[in-house]
Amino acid sequence: MSDDTFRSVEIERTSLGNYVVRNVRGGSVTVGTGDDASFTPVELLLAAIGGCTAVDVDHITSRRAEPTRFAVQVTGDKIRDEAGGNRMRNLRVEFAVTFPEGAEGDKAREALPRSLQQSHDRLCTVSRTVELGTPVSISAGD
- What is the secondary structure of the chain as a DSSP string? --TTT---EEEEEEETTEEEEEETTS-EEEE-SSSSSSBPHHHHHHHHHHHHHHHHHHHHHTTT---SEEEEEEEEEEEEETTTEEEEEEEEEEEEEE--SSHHHHHHHHHHHHHHHHIIIII-HHHHHHHHT---------
Q: What pLDDT is stored for residue 2 in this prediction?
A: 59
Contacts of 39 (CB under 8 A, 6+ apart): 29, 30, 31, 32, 47
Q: Which CATH class is domain 40-132?
A: alpha beta
Mean pLDDT by 10 residues, the chain (142 residues): 85 97 97 96 98 98 98 97 90 98 98 97 97 94 76
Q: What pLDDT was estimated at residue 44? A: 98
Taking the mean position of all CA atoms in its chain, how far away is CA 133?
Answer: 15
pLDDT of residue 3: 77
For position 82, what pLDDT does the model report? 86
pLDDT at 83: 83
